[in-house]
Amino acid sequence: MALNPSDTALWPAPQASGAVDATVHVPGSKSVTNRALVLAALASEPGWLRRPLRSRDTLLMAAALREMGVGIEEGVGPDGTGETWRVLPAGLRGPATVDVGNAGTVMRFLPPVAALADGPVRFDGDPRSYERPLHGVIDALRVLGARIDDDGRGALPLTVHGSGALDGGPVEIDASSSSQFVSALLLSGPRFNQGVEVRHVGSSLPSMPHIRMTVDMLRAVGAQVDTPESGGEPNVWRVTPGALLGRDLTIEPDLSNAQPFLAAALVTGGRVVIPAWPARTTQPGDRLREIFTEMGGSCELTEYGLVFTGSGAIHGIDVDLGEVGELTPGIAAVAALADSPSTLRGVSHLRLHETDRLAALTKEINELGGDVTETADGLHIRPRPLHGGIFHTYEDHRMATAGAIIGLAVEGVQIENVGTTAKTLPDFPDLWTGMLGSDRP
Ligand SMILES: O=C(O)C1=C[C@@H](OP(=O)(O)O)[C@@H](O)[C@H](O)C1
Ligand SMILES: C=C(OP(=O)(O)O)C(=O)O
């Protein structure tokens, strides 16, 4: 895989010479692509993904499904309109070996799929993947009838001994550390003998839009899903067993990866257009329209896409990001450049993301002269004049893009291992310099 996770090379983050004025074509959504791959692999007929994201996380998902016997043909669509993947479902097989890298979607969505394979599937990944929570998926699968060997920590590495089918049925989980536990069980649920009923019993549940994305995408391939929002009990999701359809799905641009480009408009008082911004979406990045407007910008959603304009002023914000945690690094970067303090709340689970994002943001912004403190569930950010220096990224794509945002306004910021953006946005450095190449004179 074209990624060197321990690359220590430094990338001089370009400073903006003026207000940006650019159109940025943002590649497909990681979360939608990886759900679409799983659902297409579990379907009873072939399906198509148009404009899928090609990044480390999605190529790992495709490679893992191929390992289990699924056909995935990469090519250009019949009408020549960009990349299209054809997914040919097949009897899932083991023995197989899955490299999850550090992809939450791969490490959580695939063990339930592996329980349906007819042999052992071994899961391993980057060192950080051993530390990320997986107990919700492992414990639930055991309750639902699967045999899993792990080292007793409820984490990777592990082997799922698939037996060709899984009983399924009701299960209680604590998904307060990751919504992906719920999504994982629901995605494979139609293929369990009794379907699945997932009851979340934890204190809080992050990233609700991502659970809605799972439910919407399941329904789009013909699954019957009952949810709290459709009149069911609070915190209970029920999936009826049944065959899934193969669909022809166009993947939306990744709105969370649009964040640094929108931030560039805010930070430079410029204008950025993101074509194909969906009018209706479950992606958490859609909340940026509201959040970045409160922080000083304005936006207009047209048939062509989103037009986002900065005013030249950047305001602090007090906001609960529990539903949209993956937006935190980019918001923190903008907040560090604002004209008033910010409080970001509801994101304690970010300590178990790609890195401990609360600690990493605090340390790196403070090393550039900032004044950030960690709270129990977030960050306090008091803007101060920043200076250049090395911005470490901890193999976290969103740390790299956060550093690039700060670099727009601060001379001499150097991003360590910008290549880590390959997790979800391999084109980041080129898109970024391309956007700046369109600076107004
Ligand atoms: O289901 C998904 O595609 C995701 C869910 C969220 O995970 P958590 O609930 O673990 O934060 C999010 O942060 C991650 O980037 C993608
Ligand atoms: C938390 C993230 O990723 P993952 O899917 O690996 O959990 C993220 O992309 O911000």
Pairing of strands 120-124, 96-99: parallel
Nearest bound ligand to CA 106? 2
Q: Is residue 3 part of a domain?
A: no
The answer to whether residues 239 and 300 belong to one domain is no
> Are 237 and 288 members of one domain?
no
What is the rounded CA–CA span in Å between residue 421 and residue 427?
Answer: 8
Atom index in ligand 2 nearest the CA of residue 326 equals 10
What was the pLDDT predicted at 6? 55
What CA–CA distance (Å, rounded) separates 322 from 328?
Answer: 9
What confidence tens digit (pLDDT) does each residue in 50-74 have?
999 999 999 999 999 999 999 999 9
- The percentage of residues in the chain with a pLDDT greater than 90, rounded to a whole number, is 94
Q: Is 441 exposed, middle or buried (0-12, 13-18, 19+ CB in 10 A)?
A: exposed
Residue for token pair 């939450």: 104
pLDDT tens, position by position, 166-188: 999 999 999 999 999 999 999 99
Q: Could you tell me if 61 and 171 lie in one domain?
A: yes
At 125, which amino acid appears? G
326 lines ligand 2 (CB under 6 A): yes
Q: Which of 250, 277, 308 is the last residue of a domain?
A: 250
Alpha-carbon distance of 206 to 325, in angstroms, equals 8
Asked whether residue 320 falls in the same domain as residue 396, the answer is: yes
Domain count, the chain: 2
Q: Do residues 169 and 21 both lie within one domain?
A: no
Supply the pTM of this predicted model.
0.97
> Does residue 88 lie within any of the structural domains?
yes
Name the residue among 295, 336, 321 with its Cα closest to residue 378. Answer: 321
Q: What backbone torsions phi and psi does residue 82 show, to the nearest 5 degrees?
A: 85, 180
**Average pLDDT of the segment spanning 427-433:** 97
Residues 285-296 have pLDDT tens digits of 999 999 999 999
ipTM for the predicted complex: 0.99
- CB of residue 395 inside a 6 A radius of ligand 2: no
Distance CA 142, CA 136 (A): 10
Instruction: Check whether residue 189 and residue 258 sit in a common domain.
Output: no
pLDDT value at 80 more than 70: no
- CATH number, domain of 225, equals 3.65.10.10
For 35-51, the pLDDT digits (tens) are 999 999 999 999 999 99
The secondary structure of 245-270 as a DSSP string is ---EEEPPB-TTTTHHHHHHHHHHT-
Among the three residues 196, 221, 250, which one is the final residue of a domain in this structure?
250
What CA–CA distance (Å, rounded) separates 25 from 15? 21
My answer on whether 24 and 76 are in the same domain is: no
311 and 368 share a domain?
yes
Candidates 323, 326, 354, 416; catalytic one: 326
* Predicted confidence (pLDDT) per residue in 321-360, tens digit: 999 999 999 999 999 999 999 999 999 999 999 999 999 9
Q: Examine residue 5 and state whether it is found in any structural domain, yes or no.
A: no
Same domain, 246 and 221: yes
Name which residue sits closest to atom 1 of ligand 2, judged by CA: 353
Q: Write down which residue in 223, 250, 277 finishes a domain.
A: 250
172 is catalytic: no
Assess whether 156 and 188 both reside in one domain. yes
Question: Does residue 2 lie within any of the structural domains?
Answer: no
Mean pLDDT of the chain: 95
Name the residue range of residue 400's domain.
Answer: 10-28+252-437
Torsion of CA 53, 157, 211, 31, to 10 degrees: -10
Ligand that comes closest to the CA of residue 57 = 2
CB 185 within 8 A of CB 198: yes
